[in-house]
Amino acid sequence: MPILNYTTEIDVHRTVGEVQGCLARAGAMAVSADAQPEAIMFLVRVRDVPVSFRLPSRFQGVYKRLCDDPGVPRRFKTENQARQVAWRIVKDWVQAQMAIIEAGQAELAEVFLPYAVTESGKTLYQIFEADQKLLQAGS
C-alpha cells in the first residue's frame, strides 16, 4: 500500500503555512521556517519559561519509501514530491495532536516534548537517542 498523501499536489510552502497556523492557534509563539523548509521552529511558554521546539519533516525516508514501492507511479518518485508528501504527513499529525490538546487530553509542550531544543542545540529525543539509558527502569 502506498504511503499516506503520496499523490498530493500541494506545495511545501502552503503546507508549512498550514502547520504554522495550527501551532500559532494552539498558543505557539515565534513560529518560523527557513526558505527551503526542513523544520518548523516555535516557542511555547511552559510554566512561564519559553521553550524552543524544532519539528522536522525528514523527507528522505518518504523519498526512499516512494522509490521502493512498486505501487507508486514513477511520476511520484521525485525529491520534490517526497518533500510535499512529508510535509502533508506532518500537517496531518499536527492536526491530530491539536485535537488531543483541544480535548484537554494533553498540553502543547507535552505533545511536542521530543522536539524541545536544549541549550546544546539538540532536541530531547536526540539526547535520549545518544544515551538510551536515560529511560531505563530504575532498580
Query: Could you read off the pLDDT of 89-139 as tens digits, one per residue?
Result: 999 999 999 999 999 999 999 999 999 999 999 999 999 888 877 777 655
Asked if 77 and 64 count as a contact pair (C-beta separation under 8 A), the reply is: no
Residue 54's closest CA among 1, 10, 5, 120? 120
CA–CA distance, 46 with 109 (Å, rounded to integer): 7
User: What amino acid is encoded at 128 in this protein?
Assistant: F
Retrieve residue 112's grid coordinates: 511536542
CA–CA distance, 113 with 104 (Å, rounded to integer): 17
> What is the pLDDT confidence band of residue 2, given thresholds at 50, 70 and 90?
confident
**Domain boundaries of the chain, sorted by first residue:** 12-135
